[in-house]
Chain A
């Protein structure tokens, strides 16, 4: 039996886990192709108009698997960590898919809700196994193996790789003119179509990128502890925490926020990061908002101007007081 996994949304966070879990149980795993205009177009056509770009792209990926697989895996992640939630669109994802796309094969829905306790997240995989007619012990064994693969993957990310490198088995990082921090959800940053090749464009200009996945969770937690309130969005916390860690440690020469139009979590997180940066660190920053645009001219202009700004600043470093801007402006 062939199980299809859409290459969208949380795929970039969890693909080693999912791939290994289904593979170990003896299923053939089929991943939808990389996002293309055809996938985006079919997603936009089938999805409700109000949804954000990544949700529309997910619809496109599901549609592209129809006819190629016997079942499609749709994760419903309500919560991945006790007392925290993730974006509500992920909660309703299976229902959105069912009501918008016709001719679907069997849907394998993973119901993961760790809001009360973390064990519930593991039980979800046993339930998933049951749906496939797999014995409990077999599912547990497959999950254990899958978790080892997932940890291996996460440890590679902590060493500075991005999920794209790990996917393409590209180990080279190369020489660098500086480090650019990128803050954005994995389904934007690592989808080369949505992000308009942001990572490869920066690397081609000689910069090393630092992404949220490169920052240790303990570090993120420590930084977020200092905030006036607890953040209850897991992925929002990850972005804010990793962004603050990059700024605080002055680990980056510049920071780019990549957001999709209409993202509610980003609206808070990026505003907060920009305010903290403005008040305390003053590291060059830029916000790039993506939507269904396919022309790259506007994107490239902003990116080029951002790099110019950093290089111009660096080349004039000797003329600037190291303690920020002087009072009179001269």
Chain B
């Protein structure tokens, strides 16, 4: 039987889990974007089951890539060939779908990043330093505080006639400033628009500091859905912002493309198969290692009765392989 090849990309982030499947020509076969809800393993398994039913029957998975802050976890659960950081994954996806992109603005749940692309490669990048102000989770929190569905947030901002100025440097300051403006009687739209402008100002001064932002500017990540933020970026940069069709799953797409590159060398995939993933029972626990004065928090992932992975240690005692981990257990 002639089967069609497919490549999966899995992006496990702080706020959402995205899974995509592409074919040999980078055409999207299926995409799923769901909220992590603090239960990454369970949601990932459900998402994989949904993906399995979304794909045609004659499709065979030939490669899997994972990315995002939960990429190690996802790699163990699904059996990944490529485990890549978000910068590289987003950079590759942007270059593939918007070939003339020179700047990528990516705002996710906990991270915001800027990627500078020149001549088809990443030439510079930056990520937010010590603070997550202005990322998706902050917007989420403000939306729920104002009792506005996050999907309406951007539209509401566009209705504003005279945006108020909100302190954008710190999420805590921004929140108290928003409350003050609220108590002064400013309208909700104006406050939200002010918040969008503050976040963009903060992004450009912090993450984008000293970077040469040249068009074409691509805006991706979950926050790109927010038309208020998009408009604020256009106003601040004075140029058009391109939001790619699949802006919300660009990281997963990058991971899938990397998996395709991996498989093109004729290498066999480590993918466990949808059925196994759904069936496998994962449990995790964490404990404090008392091997030295660092007291690392070790997370242990069990697949059924056997240890699937352990991480969190500084010294590598727990992460080398399961057998050394057993030995380490015996030592302690």
Distance from A193 Cβ to chain B, minimum over Cβ atoms (Å): 7
Residue numbers of A with Cβ under 8 A of B are 33, 36-39, 193, 196-197, 261, 271, 274-275, 278, 282, 284-287, 289, 291, 296-298, 300-302, 304-306, 308-309, 312-313, 316, 319-321, 325-326, 329-330
Residue B124 CB within 8 A of the other chain: yes
Given known A297-B69, A329-B100, contact A305–B88 (CB-CB < 8 A): yes
B210 within 8 A of A: yes
The interface residues of chain B lying within 8 Å CB-to-CB of A193 are 294, 314
Task: Tell me if A309 and B293 are in contact (CB < 8 A).
Answer: no
Contacts of B129 in A (CB 8 A): 261, 287, 289
Chain A residues near B127 (CB, 8 Å)? 298, 301-302
Chain A residue nearest in CB terms to B102: A329
Can you show 7 pairs from A to B with CB atoms below 8 A apart? A289-B130, A305-B86, A309-B125, A312-B88, A312-B122, A320-B119, A326-B119
Q: How far is the CA of A298 from the CA of B132 in the complex (A)?
A: 12
Cβ contact of A38, chosen from B102, B120, B126, B295, cutoff 8 A: B295
Knowing A197-B314, A275-B210, the reply to whether A305 touches B125 (Cβ < 8 A) is yes
| Chain B CB within 10 Å, residue with most, of A261, A300, A312 | A312
Query: What is the bound-complex CA distance between A301 and B69, given in angstroms?
Result: 8
Pair A36/B214 contact, Cβ less than 8 Å: no
Of all chain A residues, the one with the shortest Cβ separation from B212 is A278
A301, B18: Cα distance in complex, Å: 19
Q: List, in ascending order, chain A residues with CB within 8 A of B126's CB.
A: 286-287
Q: A36 touching B125 by the CB < 8 A rule?
A: no
**CB-defined contacts of A39 to chain B, threshold 8 Å:** 293
Known: A284-B124, A297-B69. A325 touches B293 (CB 8 A): no
Give the interface residue-count category, chain B: 20 to 34
Report the minimal beta-carbon distance from B133 to chain A, rounded to whole angstroms: 15
Residue B183 at the chain A interface, CB threshold 8 Å? no
**Which one, B85, B292, B295, contacts A301 given CB within 8 A?**
B85
Residues of A within 8 A of B295 (CB): 37-38
Residues of B within 8 A of A (CB): 69, 84-88, 100, 102, 118-127, 129-130, 210, 212, 214, 292-296, 314
Contact of B87 among A275, A301, A313, A319 (CB under 8 A): A301
- Structural contact, B125 and A274, CB atoms closer than 8 A: no
A37 touches B86 (CB 8 A): no
**Chain B residues positioned under 8 Å from A308 (CB to CB):** 84-85, 87-88, 122
Q: Is the CB of A305 within 8 A of B293?
A: no
Kindly report which residue of chain A lies nearest to residue B70, judged by CB atoms. A297
Q: Are A278 and B123 in contact (CB under 8 A)?
A: no
Interface contact B314-A296, CB-CB below 8 Å? yes
| C-alpha spacing A38/B314, complex, angstroms | 14
Task: Give chain B nearest CB distance to A34 CB in angstroms.
Answer: 9
* B122 in contact with A319 (CB, 8 Å): no
Cβ of A329 and Cβ of B119 under 8 Å apart?
yes
Q: Is A284 touching B121 in the complex (CB atoms < 8 A)?
A: no
Q: How far is the CA of A36 from the CA of B292 in the complex (A)?
A: 8
* A287, B114: Cα distance in complex, Å: 13
9 tightest Cβ-Cβ pairs between the two chains A and B: A36-B293, A305-B87, A38-B293, A304-B85, A308-B88, A305-B85, A37-B294, A301-B85, A309-B122
What is the bound-complex CA distance between A285 and B119, given in angstroms? Answer: 18
Q: Which residue from chain B places its CB closest to the CB of A39 in the assembled complex? A: B293
B220 CB to nearest chain A CB (Å): 16
A228-B175 Cα distance, complex, nearest whole Å: 43
Residue of A nearest to B216 (CB): A329
Bound together, the chains give a CA A274 to CA B100 distance in angstroms of 26
Per the bound structure, the CA–CA distance linking A19 and B314 in Å amounts to 29
Residues of B close to A287: CB separation below 8 A? 126, 129
Minimum C-beta distance from B71 to chain A (A): 9
Q: Which residues of A contact B100 (CB under 8 A)?
A: 329-330
The residues of A that contact B293 with a CB separation of less than 8 Å are 33, 36-39
Q: In the bound complex, what is the Cα–Cα distance between A281 and B20 (angstroms)?
A: 39
Residues from chain A with Cβ under 8 Å of B125 in the complex: 286, 305-306, 309
B296: chain A residues within 8 A (beta carbon)? 37
Report the separation of the CA atoms of residues A139 and B121 in the bound assembly, to the nearest whole angstrom. 60
CA distance A320 to B120 in the complex (A): 9
**What residues on A are CB-neighbors of B85 within 8 Å?**
300-301, 304-305, 308
